[in-house]
Amino acid sequence: MKRMMKHTLSLLQILLGSIILALAMNLFLIPYKIAPGGVSGIATVLLHLSDGKIPVGVTMLVINIPLFLSGLRARGKYFIIKSIVGAVLLSALIDLSEPWLSDFAVRFLSSTNGTEPQDLLLYAIAGGVASGLGLGFVFKEEATTGGTDMAAALLHKVFPWIPVGKMLIVLDGLVVLFATIVFKSFRLGLYSTIALYLSAKTLDAFLEGINFSKSLMIISSKADIIAKSLMEEIDRGVTGLYGKGMYTDNPYTVLLCVVKKEEIHKVKNIVREIDPNAFVLLTDVREVLGEGFSPHHKG
């Protein structure tokens, strides 16, 4: 029963992500020839080339299914099954919702001539952010709705010296370039690039968290005093790590502490007052789970 509930919730999240993606594409991207990479970008180009005779959802499904099946061995059966479900849901939602969403876009989102929104940049931004959000719900359930990442993984086996991430950028870039050439519009190419960039950034923020914190490593001869002050005045845990100066060969304690961004100035003041010569290293932490921060959750 518990396992069935887990799978049901997973499918509902994939459905939610697919709905958001379908809304983003039909409202902000597809009608205005914004093709931000991926299989959906190719499908958008083919839709306009055929004067609407080749549906976007059908094209995406035709391209995606062979890619998923080809990557079955590389990505695993469970991942592929959920991804196929996501791809089918998204393709169906895009084609089924297209008639009334397009009508809505023309009536309420377009300019007076009914062909193009007054500011296409805003639509590229909205479409990119919404797409990233929708993908976030799907990716969080260890699935995907598109085959570009799968194509990148498969090509990586042929060209192992090229990282998958760079391969993915190249593939998406080629789709944007293809759309730019077909539509004969450098402006649309730039809008597509903006949408692609924002989609990736929104996806990263969704998956990795947006509550940034700071990780501090403090090297000081007065480490014990600094650690006591941090624990008492900021109420943060401090971990002491063993260190050794490679030049002096002297042992010392390295303090490791994670604080919220609004507490950084307090830490700096404490360290400066106790040891002005202390070495402090600050690094960004995307998400912190545990006591004093976010609770552990399914991710």
Helix pair angle (120-140, 186-208), 10° resolution: 30
257-269 pLDDT, tens digit each: 888 776 788 888 8
- What whole-number distance in Å separates Cα of residue 153 and Cα of residue 164? 6
161 pLDDT above the threshold of 60: yes
Question: Is 264 contained in some domain?
Answer: yes
Question: Is 169 contained in some domain?
Answer: yes
Domain stops at, among 178, 208, 238:
208
Domain stops at, among 208, 235, 258:
208
100-157 pLDDT, tens digit each: 887 776 666 665 454 455 678 999 999 999 999 998 898 888 778 877 777 876 776 7
Question: Is 292 contained in some domain?
Answer: no
25 and 125 together in one domain:
yes
197 and 218 together in one domain:
no
Give the β-pairing of 213-219 and 251-260: antiparallel
Question: Is 290 contained in some domain?
Answer: no
DSSP, collapsed to helix, strand or coil, labels residue 285 as strand
Helix (H) or strand (E) holding 124: helix 120-140
223-249 pLDDT, tens digit each: 999 999 988 888 888 999 988 888 888
Output the 3-class SS for 23-53: HHHHHHHHHHCCCCCHHHHHHHHHHHHCCCC
43 and 141 together in one domain:
yes
Question: Is 260 contained in some domain?
Answer: yes
Question: Is 114 contained in some domain?
Answer: yes
Question: Is 75 contained in some domain?
Answer: yes
267-290 pLDDT, tens digit each: 888 999 999 999 998 887 766 565
78 and 157 together in one domain:
yes
90 and 17 together in one domain:
yes
Give the residue from 175, 168, 240 showing the smallest Cα distance to 39.
Answer: 175
105 and 200 together in one domain:
yes
195 and 218 together in one domain:
no
171 and 225 together in one domain:
no
Please answer whether residues 151 and 83 qualify as being in contact, where contact means their C-beta atoms are separated by less than 8 angstroms: no
Domain stops at, among 208, 227, 255:
208
CATH number of the domain encompassing residue 228: 3.30.70.120
162-205 pLDDT, tens digit each: 766 677 788 899 999 999 999 999 999 999 999 999 998 888 77
In this predicted structure, what is the pLDDT of residue 114? 46
Helix (H) or strand (E) holding 219: strand 213-219
Write down the H helix ranges in 50-119.
Answer: 56-70, 72-75, 77-104
39 and 120 together in one domain:
yes
Counted domains in the chain: 2
- 98-105: long-range pairs with CB below 8 Å, 24+: 98/26, 98/30, 98/55, 98/56, 98/57, 101/22, 101/23, 101/26, 101/27, 102/26, 102/31, 104/27, 105/26, 105/27, 105/31
188 and 254 together in one domain:
no
112 and 196 together in one domain:
yes
136 and 217 together in one domain:
no
- What whole-number distance in Å separates Cα of residue 207 and Cα of residue 210? 9
Boundaries of domain holding 66: 2-208
